[in-house]
Structure 1
Amino acid sequence: MKKRVSGFIIGLFLIAGLTQSGYAASWIFDTTADGDQSDALAIIEWIDITSTNLVLGNADPAVAGSFSFNNSGTVSAVKVDNSTTEIDELFKIWQLGAYYSFTGTGDTQEGSIAFDPGGTLTLTVGSVDVATLTVISGSGSIDSEAVSNGDITISYSLEVLAENYLFWEDGTAMTNAIAYTTTNANRITNETLKTALLEKQGVTQDQADSYDIVFYLSSNGQFRLEPVPVPTAFLLLGSGLIGLVGFRRKIG
């Protein structure tokens, strides 16, 4: 059962997201948090990222093809908006990172996975935690081959934010946001790298061997931050109140 399940879900990976959300926005990342945005990183759409992560899972003996998993790993920033940048900007970008811990379930027969709400992604600058994002939802497809960019999606809400790091394009301090990540996934086959990944995640080889599913993965993709959209219900409520005021004035 272990080989059957793990061979089918080779494409499972952690740090994943939405390719297009419909709320594109530019934002600013001030890696020094010194209040001077003139030398901060200006992100038009995304930060290019690379990640290594560990997937540990178990098959559900009561339901054929069903399994649950834990995903943890680290992220490094590579560049901004897939463009060439000056060396001083690259040094700022290379300070950016993240670490994460997610859980989820999957079905090999349907070829799908779902990420549980509540997992966390923490953004860092050097050794400083800058923001914590919580998983809202995530889902995607799985296959026996490597997963392509965008096949699996996760969205997050910004829960905790340190001051003076993140701003919107107009200079307004970011207080809440929706985040998305998009990546591909590739198996790590080098035994030395596997051992290093286990050590980084605080997992022993014996602990890893106790799971039905063990994947050592590397990935690259994009990270996005966007404003929280105004719910349609609130827009309708607002327009309704305006109409009610106009109606009362008319009959008054």
Structure 2
Amino acid sequence: MNKKLIIFTSLISLSIFIAGCGSKQAVQPTSNTISTQTNTKPQSKPQTKPQTKPQTKPQELKPTNNNTVTTPKSTDTTKPSVAKGTTTTKSTPSSTIVKPSQASTINYSDISAKTKAYIMSNQGSQTEAEKIIWNTTLLNRVDMKSLYNRYLSNGGTKNNITDFAKYITKYAPIQSDWKKIFEKALYSEYGKKVVRYKFISGDIYQAYIISNGKEVPYVGVSLRTGRFHG
């Protein structure tokens, strides 16, 4: 009985020993694994500093032989070229005013006297229709200086009395009392009184008188010069 107990106890001790050895062998790899995981650290990437580009100094401009400085990438500032052979002329309007230097050399009194003398003269070999005839009162009122300046400004010839006499006969202003002066001259020469006027053309009017109890045309008269004829 004791022998069996001893054998049984030995078997149990042996089994416990074997079990203990097996558990040690099983636990050992686990501790190694843990230690391995604990000791391993993630590899950190080395920090890289941004590369700085070397600063380049601007190139110094060197003068060339002809003392001109060349610049890299110069902008084109050249002015457009003007075609040779073309000329620009400014047009100036022709003046209708007598220049002061010209006016200062004009003897207006002499021009006025010569013009009046020519009109009141026989006027050479011209016919009655071609002659320039003025009423003396109207002629003496004409502003010869103003008209002579206009005459020259419009291309008239200096000291051409005949041409200037024709000019004032055509362009002299009509005087406001021409009727009174004409009717006085008509009555003085023919003893007739004007009863009415009829427009003909330009500055010419037809003057009517009473003859044998009827109104009849008698003479034509120029409002400008006072000249009349039947």
Interval of TM-score (by shorter of Structure 1 and Structure 2):
under 0.3
Output the TM-score relative to the length of structure 2: 0.25
> Which structure is richer in relative contact order (CA contacts within 8 A, separation 6 or more)?
1
Bigger Rg, which one: 2
Output the TM-score relative to the length of structure 1: 0.24
* Bigger fraction of residues in strand: 1
